[in-house]
């Protein structure tokens, strides 16, 4: 663990909100199957009360020290040296108390912050209740799904046959989960990236090219720390992390800012390589391109006024749907249940495409509204009638490439060659892989 990360205000659910809405907070955490929520919240409120009492004692004692200092100054002017010694003795005792109270206060603050950091975001009221992915709600599914037959080949066989992606070379260079794209495979990968970026630009997203290394404050701001610390690659000699998604650097562009309403909404798109350790993953479901340690992704991010954020979420969802439609891939949209919801998310849609060669659905995009959760960590606010209020942040994969590539290769393989979707041919400059 990397310890406590200092921020300006106590978070991660805001302590005042927890105090004022204790019953509701516990109920929503139970919805996430955090069964010890009541004990956690009571513990947090107890620590917060101790923090407040210690702060009051510190303020009172500091005030007494200041009063004695003024008395000493007055007595010096009056030449009453005997009386000064007595007051100096009192002041010395009080100053020692101040130091002790400061240490206690810092301990309470750090403990409280760590406890708050352990709390996930509260799920939106419309999130279905469920323990795991089996309870996710299908919002939409295409009517026609190709029937799986023995002639439909999984992508890991196709990429070997046509020599377009090489896992053995990647393993030689780096390790498992770091493929090498070759020839038409590399060109198809680049075509997908350019297609997704161009479509985002047409939809009104401003392109960003961010760093692929971030510091602790950035990883904390979007909720990767402390929740996903074990999934990130960290540099050995510096406290920097390889990004798991462009969401992290792009959203943090606005950390510690107070924005005016007239610049909202802010909408960005970014292509980056992404890095995830995916520790403990094995089996056929992670074979080939299904799960990698390094992969390419185009990400969309939006910063929104709270009252417009769920409208923005629906717009983002429709936009990502349009991408898989243009690639002519069979897909469905899921509303994630409370047990499958990400740590920082309040509401998430997943978009899955059908893998005909594997006869199963593959997640290619998650589109989430974080409400104020990330904004509170980042102190990302806006001016509203003279008051600083927290904004809402949203993001979505638009799209992660490996599983799109896998589904695309499998679906379009016919008569000994792989047909490139029409939307991509102007980028690839070829229509078939053969």
Higher pLDDT, 129 or 286: 129
Q: What's the mean pLDDT in 306-331?
A: 98
Decide if 388 contacts 382 (C-beta within 8 A).
yes
> Is 299 annotated to bind ligand?
yes
Q: Residue 16 in 3-state DSSP?
A: helix
Give the separation between CA 411 and CA 413, rounded to whole angstroms.
6
> Is 276 annotated to bind ligand?
yes
Q: Which residues of 142-176 are buried (b: 16+ CB within 10 A; e: fewer)?
A: eeeeeeeeeebebbbebbeebebbbbeebeeeeee
Q: Which top CATH class is 15-31+35-117?
A: mainly alpha
If you compute the radius of gyration of the chain from its CA atoms, what whole number of angstroms results? 27
pLDDT-derived band at 279 (thresholds 50, 70, 90) equals low
Give the separation between CA 126 and CA 336, rounded to whole angstroms.
10
Which H or E run includes 11? none
Q: Which residues of 375-400 are buried (b: 16+ CB within 10 A; e: fewer)?
A: bbbbbbbbeeeeeeebbbbbbbbbbb
Q: What's the mean pLDDT in 370-377?
A: 95
Indicate the average pLDDT of the chain: 92
> Structure pTM?
0.90
> Is 222 annotated to bind ligand?
no
> Is 366 annotated to bind ligand?
yes
pLDDT-derived band at 8 (thresholds 50, 70, 90) equals very low
- pLDDT confidence of residue 226: 85
- pLDDT confidence of residue 229: 80
Say whether domain 133-433 belongs to CATH 3.30.1490.100.
no
Q: What's the mean pLDDT in 289-299?
A: 96
Give the separation between CA 146 and CA 148, rounded to whole angstroms.
6
Residue 166 has pLDDT above 50, yes or no: yes
Decide if 243 contacts 212 (C-beta within 8 A).
yes
pLDDT for 194-242, tens place per residue?
Answer: 999 999 999 999 999 999 999 999 999 999 998 788 899 999 999 999 9
The residue ranges of every structural domain in the chain are 15-31+35-117, 133-433
Q: How big is the chain, counted in residues? A: 434
pLDDT-derived band at 345 (thresholds 50, 70, 90) equals very high
> Is 365 annotated to bind ligand?
yes
pLDDT for 392-434, tens place per residue?
Answer: 999 999 999 999 999 999 999 998 999 999 999 999 999 999 9
- pLDDT confidence of residue 1: 30
Find the distance separating the first CA and the last CA of the chain, reported in whole Å: 50
Q: What's the mean pLDDT in 141-166?
A: 90
Q: What angle do CA 271, 272, 273 make, to 5 degrees?
A: 140
């Amino acid at each position: 663990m990397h310890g406590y990360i200092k921020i300006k205000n106590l978070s991660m659910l805001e302590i005042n909100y927890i105090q004022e809405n204790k019953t509701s907070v516990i109920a929503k955490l139970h919805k996430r199957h955090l069964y010890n929520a009541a004990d956690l919240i009571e513990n947090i409120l107890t620590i917060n009360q101790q923090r407040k009492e210690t702060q009051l004692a510190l303020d009172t004692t500091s005030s007494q020290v200041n009063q004695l200092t003024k008395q000493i100054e007055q007595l010096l002017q009056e030449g009453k040296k005997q009386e000064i010694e007595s007051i100096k003795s009192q002041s010395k005792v009080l100053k020692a108390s101040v130091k002790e109270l400061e240490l206690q206060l810092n301990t309470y603050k750090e403990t409280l912050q760590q406890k708050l950091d352990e709390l996930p975001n509260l799920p939106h009221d419309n999130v279905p209740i469920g323990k795991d992915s089996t309870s996710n709600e299908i919002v939409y599914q295409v009517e026609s799904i190709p029937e799986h037959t023995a002639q439909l080949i999984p992508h890991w066989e196709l990429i070997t046959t046509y020599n377009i992606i090489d896992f053995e070379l990647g393993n030689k260079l780096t390790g498992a989960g770091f493929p090498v794209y070759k020839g038409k495979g590399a060109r198809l990968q680049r075509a997908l990236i350019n297609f997704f970026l161009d479509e985002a630009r047409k939809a009104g997203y401003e392109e960003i090219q961010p760093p692929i290394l971030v510091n602790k404050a950035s990883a904390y701001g979007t909720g990767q720390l402390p929740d996903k610390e074990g999934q990130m690659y960290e540099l050995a000699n510096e406290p920097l992390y390889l990004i798991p998604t462009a969401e992290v650097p792009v959203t943090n562009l606005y950390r510690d800012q107070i924005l005016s309403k007239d610049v909202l909404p802010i909408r960005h798109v970014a292509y980056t390589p992404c890095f995830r350790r995916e520790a403990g993953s094995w089996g056929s479901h992670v074979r080939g391109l299904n799960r990698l340690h390094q992969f390419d992704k185009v990400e969309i991010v939006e910063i929104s006024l709270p009252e417009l954020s769920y409208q923005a979420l629906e717009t983002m969802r429709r936009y990502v749907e349009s991408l898989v439609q243009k690639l002519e891939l069979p897909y469905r949209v899921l509303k994630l249940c409370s047990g499958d919801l990400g740590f920082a998310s309040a509401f998430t849609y997943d978009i899955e495409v059908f893998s005909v060669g594997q006869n199963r659905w593959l997640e290619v995009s998650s589109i989430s509204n974080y409400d104020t959760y990330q904004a509170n960590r980042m102190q990302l606010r806006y001016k509203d009638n003279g008051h600083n209020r927290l904004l809402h942040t949203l993001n979505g994969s638009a799209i992660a490439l490996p599983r799109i590539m896998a589904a695309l290769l499998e679906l379009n393989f016919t008569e000994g060659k792989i047909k490139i979707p029409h939307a991509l041919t102007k980028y690839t400059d070829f229509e078939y892989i053969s």
